[in-house]
Amino acid sequence: MNSRDLGPRVIVALDYATGAEALAFAQRLDPKRCRVKVGKELFTVTGPALVEQLVGRGFDVFLDLKYHDIPNTVAAACKAAAGLGVWMINVHASGGRTMMQAAREALAGQTRPPKLIAVTVLTSLGAEDLHETGQTEEPAVLVERLARLAASSGLDGVVCSAQEAQRLRQACGPDFCLVTPGIRPSDSAQDDQKRVVTPQMAITGGADYLVVGRPITKAADPLSVLDRINADIALAAGR
Ligand code: C5P
């Protein structure tokens, strides 16, 4: 359980195909009660302008572009992302220590640097897929190895499944930021997520921030669903 004051712990995934839809939906949210995530599809369609508009409306933005390239390129991309005023960015831990350290150093001169987190193993990859790429470790072992590598490379945390949170909290310490997607309130549809976890379970397991998409974006009354999730989080966090 996390006793630090983390501010709003729900990150609403703005998985929309156009900027107009994303902005119209953001209009129905409250930046004091959640943060938002912009991913590859939306960013590719809208570019930085949408991110700047969301930041301008007071939202903390997680720019989920999962950089993975040579250190110089990733460092420059991270610096450019920081220039947009976003709250969180991410890179692939499998890009290696030098790449992650370059990303960290690129943010050093920023007045309000974004949180820099890593993707360990994409949850879409099973043991078979990993073996085909030459990875012989079991997924959970590889996840922990990459999370430890991210931590020792100076990153602020990782994206992980809530089922891994407890193990990574123990491995990487109390201040390491754990961001968990695959969250479903108990009365929500599972959609295409296979192993879902409720907000309470994720918080109890040690997650800091919960990425929630469709249970909020498809709701008739998004703010009331958000409020209920926030209440569940507060209960699980003992506040
Ligand atoms: O709608 P839903 O709550 O399933 O959305 C989850 C969000 O988290 C999506 O933006 C998805 O791409 C992202 N995500 C995920 N699983 C991961 C990593 C990211 O669902 N392992």
The reply to whether 5 falls in a domain is no
Rounded distance from Cα 222 to ligand 1 centre (Å): 17
The reply to whether 75 falls in a domain is yes
The reply to whether 2 falls in a domain is no
The residues, any chain, with a CB within 8 Å of residue 235's CB and separated by 6 or more, are: 200
The pLDDT assigned to 82 comes to 97
> pTM for the whole thing?
0.96
98: which 2 tokens? 């030098």
Pocket test for ligand 1, best of 11, 12, 14, 15 (most atoms within 8 A of CB): 15
Calpha distance 233→239 (Å, rounded): 9
The number of domains in the chain is 1
The pLDDT assigned to 109 comes to 87
What three-state secondary structure class fits 61? Answer: strand
The pLDDT assigned to 167 comes to 96
The reply to whether 191 falls in a domain is yes
The pLDDT assigned to 196 comes to 85
The reply to whether 199 falls in a domain is yes
The pLDDT assigned to 123 comes to 84
Domain that holds residue 122: 10-237
Output the domain CATH number for residue 176.
3.20.20.70
The reply to whether 4 falls in a domain is no
- Secondary structure (DSSP) of 75-118: HHHHHHHHHTT-SEEEEEGGG-HHHHHHHHHHTTT-SSPPEEEE
The pLDDT assigned to 193 comes to 82
The pLDDT assigned to 1 comes to 45
Collect the ranges in the chain with pLDDT lower than 70: 1-3, 239
Nearest CA to ligand 1 atom 2: 213
Is 66 a catalytic site residue?
yes
Instruction: Of 59, 47, 66, 118, give the one whose Cα is nearest residue 86.
Output: 59
Rounded distance from Cα 63 to ligand 1 centre (Å): 13
Calpha distance 11→38 (Å, rounded): 10
The pLDDT assigned to 120 comes to 96
Provide φ and ψ at 62, rounded to 5°: -95, 110
Q: Which helix (H) or strand (E) holds 72?
A: helix 71-83
Check the CA dihedral 45-90-211-234 and report its sign.
negative
The pLDDT assigned to 239 comes to 66
The pLDDT assigned to 30 comes to 95
The reply to whether 150 falls in a domain is yes
The reply to whether 147 falls in a domain is yes
Q: For ligand 1, what atom is nearest to the CA of residue 15? A: 10
232: which 2 tokens? 């569940």
Strands 88-92 and 115-119: parallel
Q: Which helix (H) or strand (E) holds 66?
A: strand 61-67
The amino acid sitting at 167 is: R
